[in-house]
Structure 1
Amino acid sequence: MNYRILIVDDEPPARKLLSDYVSKVENLALAGVCSNGEEALRFLKQNPVDILLLDIRMPLMTGVDLLNELPEKPLTIFVTAYEEYALKGYELDVIDYLMKPVSFERFTKAIEKATEYLSVQVRADEKTDKPEYFFIKTDTRIVKFLFSEVQAIEAQREYIKIITPTRKVLSLVSLTNIANALPSEFVRIHRSFIINMRHIDEVQSNEVLIGKDLFPISRNYRDVFLAKLEDGKLI
């Protein structure tokens, strides 16, 4: 499987070096590159990542500030030129700490540590029994859905529309809230759309075909979606 990785660093040479390193590691997919903490915070609110390569000393928002802003933190590797921040990194439960300039050998060791930790988590999750259904409240009813039957979920202002082969149901729930309750076969491809990868018939340029419906893939979500698609299996 490919692990999605986000690079956050205010120095262009560092971003370029780390991007090159990511491209050389077989099981990594570059989800994005950000030049400051505020940009990364916006990205992470819309795009799930597995590993965060994070500089600490940046203008506007430091790496430490960024982690403190995140309710759910990706597995983080600090990358910095300042050794005095090492203790702070361990206080924040980062998986490793890389000193600049980072060698490829040291980079791969940190990535191996992170991916091994993530693989253990995945194996543990696979052993956990999860419900096969959920309930959604409409204006007058509470409706049961099987996760397996849901093809897509669309945001419509303050409502969402749940789409299956036989019905479309509106509910007063935010797309973000329902996304947090969905299993891993669901992926966000647009600010207004989440799709079930089990139902994909075709991927056509910047659209996903499910049955007779086409769903747009936005630029902000495209890399994460394609990385998951390229895994060749649902994760």
Structure 2
Amino acid sequence: MKYRCLIADDEPPARKLLSDYVSKIGNLELAGVCSNGVEVVEFLSENTVDILLLDIRMPLMTGMEILNDLPERPLTILVTAYEEYALKGYELDVIDYLMKPVPFERFQKAIDKAIEYLAVQVAADDNSEKPDYFFIKTDTRIVKFMFAEVSAIEAQREYIKIIAGSRKVMSLVSLTSIANVLPPDFVRIHRSYIINMRHIDEVQSNEVVIGKEIYPISRNYREVFFEKLGDRKLL
């Protein structure tokens, strides 16, 4: 399977380097090249891509402005010379953050990570009978969880923390990556939190209480959460 890729960078040498890298990866197809933020938005309004290789400091619109404005974001890898945007990038659920100049081996690793995630999405969509458990990779182990036992998942920079009773496991995965393969009982209530509705003890104004933990409901996710909550109310 070929995955379509869009390059967005205002520097010609960077565009050429990334184009050369893309051509070396057999299951990657270059869908287009953009030199400023407006071109990116216009291209994505008319075309679908799987992976966006996005610079941050570009004319007309920055990479961050693009990610904030896009209603549907492709899986994004930030490629930049500025390390200070790393935290903000992970808050916007980018799959990886590459520092210029990017060695091919590091580029390959980021693409492999993105394609692995895309393959998981396809498998999840194709599977009519989904298992009631999942495996998550830590630094040294692969840990099994039952979906039903997980009460919440928290974003912690480029990591997530999965909370299941007394078990708390960290994994190098973005919150959006795992959100897309979770069953319907899970709902995102904040850019940093996903909760399992089966574990909710109380909802207090703009907060969800699960045991001794209190999770904030942000404005961006409030409507979807309360719609789901309303569907499950008895009276």
| TM-score under structure 2 length normalisation | 0.54
SS in 2 for 1:5: strand
2-side partners of 1:128 and 1:31: how far apart?
31
Which residue matches 2:11? 11
Which residue of structure 2 aligns with residue 202 of structure 1?
none
Measured in 2, the distance between the counterparts of 1:128 and 1:21 equals 36
Matched, 1:88 2:96: no
Give the letter aligned to residue 4 of structure 1: R
Q: Which residue of 1 aligns with 2:66?
A: 66
Q: Distance in 1 between matches of 2:126 and 2:92?
A: 27
Partner of residue 182, structure 2:
none
Deviation digits for residues 82-132 of structure 1 (CA, Å, limit 9, x no counterpart): 010111111100000000000000000000000000000000111249xxx
Deviations 1:179-217 (A, max 9, x none): xxxxxxxxxxxxxxxxxxxxxxxxxxxxxxxxxxxxxxx
Does residue 113 of structure 2 align to residue 113 of structure 1? yes
Q: Counterpart in 2 of 1:198? A: none
Whole-angstrom CA distance in 1 between matches of 2:66 and 2:37: 6
The alpha-carbon deviation at position 8 of structure 1 amounts to 0.2
Residue 79 of structure 2 aligns to a residue in which SS?
strand
Structure 1 segment 22-171 matched on structure 2, within 5 A: 22-128=22-128
Matched with 1:137 is none
Shift of 1:69: 1.2
| Partner SS state of residue 48, structure 2 | coil
Output the CA distance in 2 between the equivalents of 1:61 and 1:16.
21
Deviation digits for residues 43-81 of structure 1 (CA, Å, limit 9, x no counterpart): 000100000000001121000001111101000000000
> In structure 2, do the counterparts of structure 1 residues 71 and 13 end up closer, same or farther at CA, with 3 Å as the change threshold?
same
Q: Distance in 2 between matches of 1:108 and 1:11?
A: 21
User: 1:102 is aligned with what amino acid?
Assistant: V
CA distance in 1, matches of 2:82, 2:58: 12
- Residue 200 of structure 2 corresponds to none
Cα offsets for 1:152-183 (capped at 9, x unmatched):
xxxxxxxxxxxxxxxxxxxxxxxxxxxxxxxx
- Identity of counterpart residues, as a percentage? 78
Distance in 1 (CA, whole Å) between partners of 2:76 and 2:118 is: 11
Question: How much has 1:27 moved relative to structure 2?
Answer: 0.5
C-alpha distance in structure 2 between counterparts of 1:36 and 1:69, whole Å: 15
Whole-angstrom distance in 2 between the partners of 1:12 and 1:28: 21
SS in structure 1 opposite 2:112? helix
Moved over 6 A (4+): none
Distance 1:128 1:47, change over 3 A: farther
More relative contact order, 1 or 2 (CA 8 Å, 6+ apart): 1
Q: For the residues of structure 1 that align with 2:42 and 2:33, how far apart are their CA atoms?
A: 12
Quote the offset at 1:19 in angstroms: 0.2
Q: TM-score, normalised by structure 1?
A: 0.54
